[in-house]
Amino acid sequence: MKTLITPHLVLLIALYAPLMLDKSWAAEASLGLEAVIQKALASNAELKALQSELDANKAQIGPAGTLDDPMLSVEMMNVPTNSFRLNESEMSGVQVSLSQKFPYPGKLEAQQEVATLRSEALVHRLKQMQLEIAWNVKRIYYELYLRTKKKNILENQRTYLRQTLTTSRSRYALGQVSQASILNLQVEEAQLVNEQLRLSSEMKDLEAELAHISGHADHSPRMEFQSIQIDRINLNKWTDKKIAEKVMSSSALRALQSEVMAGDASVALAKKSYLPDFELMASYTIREKAVGMATPGNGQDMMGAKIGLSLPIWGATKQSQQIKEALAGKEKSAHYLDHARLMQIHEARALLAELKESIQRIDLFESGLMQLSRQAVATGTSAYLTGKESYSTLLDALKQQQETEYGYQEALVAYQLQLAKLEALIGQSLGK
């Protein structure tokens, strides 16, 4: 019997050994998709930071509509420097005053409106970030699912190749199969192992990305992969008009709409800066009876009141520029809104078209293509073992089956990802 210990077999062993040691390849997951999403939403650092920003903005709403604190002051008036006594002059005394600034009517309400609208924009941004985190978790989940399925497909191919190799070796001993055929089958198995190793490396990168999204620096949540069940949605009811309407009510665009409204309120507030603010003050002066004077004073206490107002005399260089700044900010938000609206409507329509295409691909695979590829492998194996076909014919059939099964899984994953992306874009389920 001729020896089959060849460099190709050594290569196969060298490639397969690290795969046997890859614990993550065989590790079983423990969390489903929804559980991982909830874990990411609860732990994501960027989401927590935005929530803190929202809390800070909400805390600004009350103060924005509140008057400044009043000012209480105590003043020693006209005190002689040679004695520092208050009873030597009728002009001496202690004055207690209380003052309060009052913005022109409507200014406080305008400030509070701006703060409220800024806060509303952050509420929508927070919701949009939650949708984006959920989408990213789904993307990684299905990318890992697809690679796991491909590794399983490759492992099934390797099992089939090993069984074929066992039979071929027996026929090789009888002189019915060439050594070159067996060597090529061994090379093919080594290539499958190499592909499995590449997939394992990609899965580790995806797991690291999931760990980052989930707020874990050292590990990602362990996930449980379930077979994809397609929920066939009536996509024909989602017309271009309906898609545009739903996009306009999405969290991302509502945040920009709130920014535009806040810009309008800022312009109105800036225009009010031409109007004067007021300051009211009341004072009470305590005086002592003056002694040591030719005509001693009677020490009568006194009261006073004062009203002041600001004069916007620097309007050309101050208030007018504040209005320009507010207008520019409003226009910027409006341009961002228009750009985002057009981009998201286009993206939503493209995703809807891709969803319809994915359904067609899934139907094509399920209508018989999968079964045909399996039959081709069975027929090719039988023909190879009886000497009617070469090993290359069998390998072509195996590769075709692998591509078909993987293509089917790709179509399933593409459908799920496109559906998840579109639902995140419009902010609701397409089934509604």
**Judging by DSSP bridges, how do beta strands 71-77 and 302-309 pair with one another?**
unpaired
Question: What is the pLDDT, as a whole number, of residue 83?
Answer: 79
Q: What is the pLDDT of residues 373-427, one digit of tens each?
A: 878 877 877 776 776 766 677 777 777 887 888 888 889 999 999 988 988 888 8
Q: What whole-number distance in Å separates Cα of residue 366 and Cα of residue 200? A: 28
Residues 284 and 138 in one domain: no
Q: Which of 291, 310, 329 is the last residue of a domain?
A: 310
Note whether 48 and 74 are same-domain residues. Answer: no
Clarify whether residues 33 and 78 are in a common domain. Answer: no
Domain assignment of residue 98, given as a range: 69-102+277-310
In angstroms, the first-to-last Cα distance of the chain is 69
322, part of any domain: yes
Q: Name the CA dihedral angle for 25, 31, 34, 35, rounded to a multiple of 10 degrees.
A: -140
Contact 76, 288 (CB under 8 A): no
pLDDT digits (tens, 9 = 90+) for 100-148: 999 999 999 999 999 999 999 999 999 999 999 999 999 999 999 989 8
432 within a domain of the structure (yes/no):
no
Residues 174 and 237 in one domain: yes
Side-chain half-sphere CA neighbours of 364 within 13 A: 13
Indicate whether 2 belongs to any domain: no
Whether 298 and 195 map to the same domain: the answer is no
* pLDDT at residue number 218: 62
- Here the tokens at position 425 are 């874009």
pLDDT average, residue stretch 241-257 = 89
Amino acid 291: pLDDT: 67
Highest mean pLDDT among 128-137, 150-159, 172-181: 128-137
Q: What is the pLDDT at residue 384? A: 65
For 56-112, the pLDDT digits (tens) are: 999 999 999 999 999 999 998 888 878 788 777 777 889 999 999 999 999 999 999
Q: ∠171-172-176 over CA atoms, to 5°?
A: 65
Q: Does residue 175 form part of some domain?
A: yes
Render the burial of 97-125: b for 16+ CB within 10 Å, e for the rest.
beeebebeeebbbbbbbbbbbbbbbbbbb
Instruction: State the angle between helix axes of 107-173 and 179-213 in degrees (0 to 180), rounded to the nearest 10.
Output: 160
> Can you spell out the DSSP letters for 46-112?
HHHHHHHHHHHHHHHHHHHTSPPPPEEEEEEES--TTT--TTS-TT-EEEEEEEEEEPPTTHHHHHH
Confidence of residue 297 (pLDDT cuts 50, 70, 90): low
Same domain, 141 and 265: yes
Q: Which of 310, 330, 358 is the last residue of a domain?
A: 310
With 0-12 / 13-18 / 19 or more C-beta atoms within 10 angstroms meaning exposed / middle / buried, residue 393 is: middle
The residue ranking higher by pLDDT, 25 or 347, is: 347
Residues 6+ apart with CB under 8 A from 188: 161, 395, 398
Q: With bands split at pLDDT 50, 70 and 90, how would you rate the model's confidence at 322? A: very high
Regarding whether 170 and 155 lie in a shared domain, the answer is yes
Q: How many distinct structural domains can be found in the chain?
A: 2
pTM of the shown model: 0.76
Is 431 within the bounds of a domain?
no
Instruction: State CA 67 to chain mean position distance.
Output: 38
Is the same domain home to 83 and 113? no
Of the candidates 68, 382, 359, the residue with the CA atom closest to the CA atom of residue 232:
359
Last residue of a domain, one of 292, 310, 328: 310
Quickly state the pLDDT bin for 219 (edges 50, 70, 90): low
In a domain, 1, yes or no: no
User: Are both 299 and 250 inside the same structural domain?
Assistant: no
Which domain CATH number covers 368? 1.20.1600.10
From residue 6, alpha-carbon distances to 11, 132, 247 in Å are: 9, 52, 62
**Which parts of 174-250 fold into alpha helices (H)?**
179-213, 240-248
Of 34-38, 114-118, 193-197, 217-221, give the lowest mean pLDDT range: 217-221
For the segment 192-200, the average pLDDT, to the nearest whole number, is: 89
Together in a domain, 83 and 164: no
pLDDT score at 289: 77
| Residue 162 and residue 87 share a domain | no
264 in a structural domain = yes
Do 190 and 15 form a contact (C-beta atoms < 8 A)? yes
Residue 427 Rama label (left phi>0; alpha psi -120 to 50; beta): left
Is the domain of 240 the same as that of 210? yes
In a domain, 262, yes or no: yes
Which pLDDT band, with edges at 50, 70 and 90, does 23 fall under? very low
What is the band of 31 on the pLDDT scale with cuts at 50, 70, 90? confident
Report the pLDDT value the prediction gives residue 5, as an integer from 0 to 100.
46
